[in-house]
Structure 1
Amino acid sequence: MRESDIHINRVDWVTVLLYFALVMIGWFNIYAAVYDGQAEKSIFDFSINSGMQLVWIFTAIALITVIMVADHRLFENLSIIIYLIFIGILIVTPFFGKEVNGQTLSIGFGSFRIQPGEFAKFATALALAKIMERPTFDLSKTKNQLVAFGVLMLPVLLILLQPDTGTAMVYFSFLIMFYREGLPQRYYILGLGFIALSLLSLGIKENIYIVFGITALVIFLILLGKKSWQRIVAFSLIGLGAIAYSYSIDFVVSKLPEHQQNRIMVLFNPDLDPLGVGWNVTQSKIAIGSGGLWGKGYLQGTQTKFDFVPEQHTDFIFCTLGEEFGWIGSLVVILLFLAILYRLVVMAERQKTRFSRIYGYSVISILLFHFMINIAMTIGLFPVVGIPLPFFSYGGSSLWSFTVLLFIFIKLDSSRAQQLGRIN
């Protein structure tokens, strides 16, 4: 195959190097997370997680090779088909998947299993890019909004049936891409308002305080001379709606499984159940805090070594980094994530087609959401929802899905000139 077909010279190698830097640092931290203080098992031992992660890394490299060799038009032409395939897999997963802890997240044969919810992210990104690429597709129009949200919400509803709330939440990160493509700001203002009111409703159990705040606002408007009855009535109705919404939030939360209710309440009161549902977050914060500025040293983490933090090789991998490499090591990894996100923004803005730009911002949205929520989760700023750290956490489905998601965009970026017919 000719070099011009693969566009080696146009590959964004900075992004590729950042990807491999994160993957390799993650691999070493996975070994640290399962290291028990004895050097009997090496990092290459296939009987432990670090050895298996190395297998996933090599298979991820094979996926990268296939993506980079493939024709860039393949991803656009097959985008809807890929989306429908994963929708079909999500439909059958609850019936034929493997159930673990009340959730049916994976499907496959024998020991080979994948989590369709992870792979459906890039499939949804491709489908949205294909649907929204038309010049006449305007997100300020209600009809187009319904189409875009329909494509987005279908996998969300199917994933909730598994049930997997954490993965389903990730799909709302596409709202970042929608904002770039022209979804009106009023939706975001309204959404942020509902989020703020939800947090107030959960954090302040006495709704009388909300009533007091709204009443004070109305009085303040009157004292300012804003005597328009329409405005006062409008604010009063908004206040009544806010109170009704706060009660509805309490009702919805009360219907959730007890462990999910506790996870939400621990966010507002970390000491609510320190030996139960609050154990993960408490121990994670202890591990990160004990690392200090420079950390305890590689393989020297006591919280990690003695398994105080559950799931420390997957969802809580960041606490292993914080304990052994301290504030400096954590900062380096955060800067690497910010660097790759910055490079992706630069790449998205230089795309020559709307399809590539929309897909690029979808990649940015998903990675940013995972990065922010995972770290916020480990330091107690967000409920524990089971969201892995991209390229870092242990798991084949996680690494493969993020790799495919990223390198499809890298391939599209390397072919951007050809997309306009500039290269024959």
Structure 2
Amino acid sequence: MNNSFIRKIDWLTVILYFSLVFIGWINIYSSSVTEGAGVSVFDFSTFYGKQLTFIGLSSVFITLILAVDAKFYQKFAGIIYLVLVGALAGVFIFGKTIAGQTAWYDLGFMSIQPAEFAKTGTALALAEYLSDSQTNIKYLKYQLKGFLIIVLPIIFILLQPDPGSAMVFLAFIPVMYREGLPSWYLLAGLGLVTLFVTTLIFGAVWVCIAVFSFLTLYYLWRKRKKKMVSVLPFITLLIITVVVTSSVRFTFDNIFKQHHRDRINLWLKLEHDPAKLREIRKSIGYNTYQSESAISSGGFSGKGFLEGTRTKGGFVPEQHTDYIFSTVGEEWGFIGSTTVVLLFCFLLLRLLFLAERQKSKFSRIYGYSVAAILFFHFAINIGMVIGLLPTVGIPLPFFSYGGSGLWAFTLLLFVFVKLDANQINEWDDFSEFH
């Protein structure tokens, strides 16, 4: 890498990345260090020691990512995607099963989860497809091909089974919308989710009555305004509502597994039996309950570094991974939690800004994909930890313990940093030539 290229790197993004990684490691250290003499940050038998190794290797990966020609990522996007999808399929033959999920390759010294890296492969493949001059996402056949790129890894990940990781791939839908996907896809998706949730809370009959009332009032309002209106769309929406709401209870009781039902019951407060509620909180809801308690106990300024009683007492299971934000809340309080949230928001806004200024359509689409994936992880993980969303088991980017997660997010981000720096160089060269 020459000095000219180094100057073109968006160093604000790099600083935000390393800030989040450092704060994440500090909290992994706090959540996993044991009291006693001779404690060393270089004890590589501990979670914080291993994470330090992962961080060091990430710096090596960053150098390699930035050293590769930017054109490589677009030229070989399809091959990278197929290799990573093949890796997802390979876990069923060569993989390792942990906690009922066949989702890892055992390398002896660590385990690698290909689902994390598949997000980068999918982002590259989707960006390459949508940036093709022959692709017009406004037409159905091109939409189906785009959906196929997203759905293929989802199928393999669901078979592991890992629904949390599979759900993250839905973050690519807004990216397709940004590139011209008809808005009714988003509206239909939001509508189905709304119907599902409201039916569980209020029941099918009341939801159908509410929808019928709303559609009737809207129809009469348009007719009163003497606007052209057809009754057919309203009847179609009502029929869809009746079909969906009628199938919700069957789907919930017969297709969802018991632990999924328990998590949704706890989230939506559907269970009113005190005995069953206590049982759910002691099992499925235990992590969330303890996480909420840890965060609320931190107050405004927190208990202080290494002073979190619930963190030190090991009350929150898997606190160094999916529930790492609870350590922030307890030891650093509202101030620390807000700082972390703001850092993530600044990074996401920076990525959106960089994506929008790209001269290359491929780079722009990939940039939006990076922002969408990081936002999805960030919003769901923190929402889960503070009890706003049900537990789905996805890590907090750059924060949660694990080599696969850290390396995959690093790869995802710095490929875009490379693309962004390269397009600036190309634009400068173009300007000088003219």
> 1:114 is aligned with what amino acid?
I
SS in 2 for 1:416: helix
SS in 1 for 2:102: strand
User: Normalization by structure 1: what TM-score?
Assistant: 0.94
Aligned partners of 2:222 and 2:92: how far apart in 1? 60
Match of 2:119 in 1: 121
Aligned partners of 1:218 and 1:80: how far apart in 2? 45
SS in 1 for 2:397: coil
* Cα deviations by residue, 1:34-76 (Å, 9 ceiling, x for unpaired): 1344454333311110000000000000000101111111111
Task: Give the CA deviation at 1:210.
Answer: 1.6
Q: Which of 344, 347, 355 does residue 348 from structure 1 map onto?
A: 355
Change (3 A) 1:324 1:233: same
Change (3 A) 1:55 1:248: same
CA RMSD of aligned residues (A): 2.2
Match of 2:337 in 1: 330
Aligned partners of 1:270 and 1:281: how far apart in 2? 17
* Cα deviations by residue, 1:7-47 (Å, 9 ceiling, x for unpaired): 00100001100000000000000011113444543333111
Is the 2:397–2:409 Cα contact (8 Å) retained in structure 1?
yes
Q: Which of 186, 189, 194 does residue 188 from structure 1 map onto?
A: 186
SS in 1 for 2:105: strand
1:9-408 equivalences in 2 (<5 Å): 9-38=7-36, 40-204=38-202, 206-217=203-214, 220=217, 226=223, 234-254=233-253, 255-269=255-269, 272=277, 273-408=280-415
> 1:247 is aligned with what amino acid?
S
SS in 1 for 2:190: helix
> 2:47 is aligned with what amino acid?
N
Change (3 A) 1:223 1:357: closer
Aligned partners of 1:192 and 1:360: how far apart in 2? 24
Q: How many residues align?
A: 421
SS in 2 for 1:274: helix
Is the 1:376–1:382 Cα contact (8 Å) retained in structure 2?
yes
Is the 1:94–1:161 Cα contact (8 Å) retained in structure 2?
no
Is the 1:56–1:400 Cα contact (8 Å) retained in structure 2?
yes
Is the 1:359–1:409 Cα contact (8 Å) retained in structure 2?
yes
SS in 1 for 2:111: strand
Is the 1:370–1:390 Cα contact (8 Å) retained in structure 2?
yes
Is the 2:301–2:334 Cα contact (8 Å) retained in structure 1?
yes
Task: Give the CA deviation at 1:168.
Answer: 0.4
Is the 2:306–2:331 Cα contact (8 Å) retained in structure 1?
yes
Is the 2:88–2:157 Cα contact (8 Å) retained in structure 1?
yes
* Cα deviations by residue, 1:202-257 (Å, 9 ceiling, x for unpaired): 223x32222332343366468769599x8566535533421321232322222222
Task: Give the CA deviation at 1:384.
Answer: 0.6
SS in 2 for 1:111: coil
SS in 1 for 2:45: coil
User: Normalization by structure 2: what TM-score?
Assistant: 0.91
Aligned partners of 1:162 and 1:274: how far apart in 2? 26
SS in 1 for 2:307: coil
Task: Give the CA deviation at 1:180.
Answer: 1.5
Task: Give the CA deviation at 1:182.
Answer: 1.3
> 2:308 is aligned with what amino acid?
G
Identity of aligned residues (%): 45
Change (3 A) 1:40 1:257: farther
Is the 1:299–1:324 Cα contact (8 Å) retained in structure 2?
yes
> 2:296 is aligned with what amino acid?
G
Aligned partners of 1:124 and 1:277: how far apart in 2? 32
Is the 2:381–2:396 Cα contact (8 Å) retained in structure 1?
yes
Aligned partners of 1:317 and 1:413: how far apart in 2? 31
Instruction: Give structure 1 stretches of 5+ with no counterpart.
Output: none
* Cα deviations by residue, 1:340-391 (Å, 9 ceiling, x for unpaired): 1111111111111111111111100100100100000011111111110000
Bigger mean CA offset, 231-240 vs 61-70: 231-240
> 2:269 is aligned with what amino acid?
N
> 1:52 is aligned with what amino acid?
K
Aligned partners of 1:218 and 1:180: how far apart in 2? 29
Match of 2:274 in 1: none
Task: Give the CA deviation at 1:201.
Answer: 1.9
Aligned partners of 1:174 and 1:224: how far apart in 2? 36
Aligned partners of 1:39 and 1:139: how far apart in 2? 62
Task: Give the CA deviation at 1:274.
Answer: 1.6
> 1:308 is aligned with what amino acid?
F
Aligned partners of 2:215 and 2:171: how far apart in 1? 35
